[in-house]
Amino acid sequence: MLEWLISYLLWIGLLLLLASALARKSSIAVPGWAIFGLFWLFQPGHYLATEDYFNAVLFLAAGLMSLYMAWIVMNKGFSSKARLWASYAAAVCGMVYFPFAEIEPLQLGLIRLTTFITVQALQLISVPAIMQSSDMMTLNGRSVQIILACTAIESIALFAGLILSVQAPIGRRLVALAASTVSIYLLNIVRNGFVLMAYGGSWFGSESFEIAHNIIAKAGSTVALLAISYLVFLLLPELLSIIDELAADIRTPRGDAV
């Protein structure tokens, strides 16, 4: 019941953020940001239960930042262009990500596709991986389960929201979107394959999965996202400018409510 209520409120929050950006009404964005923030604050417990401290901290920070944005917009409105853009970007990110998070057939389909492509890629380089089930890969008798976080949909949604919401020529936005999302997904396949090979081959002894997944893969993902961000900023300097403006606005919020 609680999960259903959270999901229901989430969609209301996303629609409020989208409506606020389209109508340029900051009063609509305030409850949208607040609901968005509360949703993120419910997530760290799940990651702490699986000892994924990186994502737990990430979601905690996202929740606190969303609540802070609600406070800024409530007090200062949309007098800053960056606040308006942030509301639009957050809504687009959510609209891309949450159908896969909340609609089971979409989630299972994406997980199955990612599992299949990872196994096929490993077999292509003569690694005898087996697709044990729609979400399970096996190598040398050791299995790795693919969950939604292993599909890279969170990073794809983030970049899609940032790119699609920025004011720039549509051609450059589409190029940046294609370059970032395709790169993220393919590198994620490499990441999944690496984790399975390290675990299945006991590359790091009894702690092979933890070292490969929680340390090496996460560090590699961080470096990859930084490199992709740099590429996107080269293609869309407008995005870097608006992010800089938002960062300055968060540090020293100014302006009158609208």
Domain map of the chain by residue range?
2-251
3-state DSSP call for residue 22? helix
Q: Is the pLDDT of residue 1 over 60?
A: no
Q: Rounded to an integer, what distance in angstroms lies between the CA atom of residue 68 and that of residue 72? A: 6
Q: Rounded to an integer, what distance in angstroms lies between the CA atom of residue 77 and that of residue 110? A: 38
pLDDT of residue 10: 80
Q: Which carries the bigger pLDDT value, residue 8 or residue 200?
A: 200
Mean pLDDT of the region 210-233: 92
Mean pLDDT of the region 221-244: 93
pLDDT of residue 119: 97
pTM of the model: 0.85
Q: Is the pLDDT of residue 159 over 90?
A: yes
- Condensed to tens digits (0 to 9), the pLDDT of residues 61-80 reads 888 888 998 998 888 887 77
Beta-sheet strand order (sheet of 142-145): 130-133, 136-139, 142-145
Amino acid at 203: W
Q: Rounded to an integer, what distance in angstroms lies between the CA atom of residue 251 and that of residue 231? A: 26
Q: Rounded to an integer, what distance in angstroms lies between the CA atom of residue 53 and that of residue 63? A: 15
Q: Rounded to an integer, what distance in angstroms lies between the CA atom of residue 78 and that of residue 255? A: 8
Residues ≥6 apart with Cβ < 8 Å to 149: 55
pLDDT of residue 45: 74
Question: How many secondary structure helices (H) and strands (E) does the chain include?
Answer: 11, 3
Question: Do the bridges between strand 130-133 and strand 136-139 make them parallel or antiparallel, or are there none, so unpaired?
Answer: antiparallel
Q: Is the pLDDT of residue 258 over 50?
A: no
Q: Which of 118, 122, 123 is nearest to 135 (CA)?
A: 118
Q: Is the pLDDT of residue 131 over 60?
A: yes
pLDDT, mean over the chain = 88
* Paired strand residues for 130: 138
Q: Is the pLDDT of residue 257 over 50?
A: no
Mean pLDDT of the region 128-157: 94
pLDDT band at 115 (very low <50, low <70, confident <90, very high): very high
Residue 29 in contact with residue 21, Cβ under 8 Å? yes
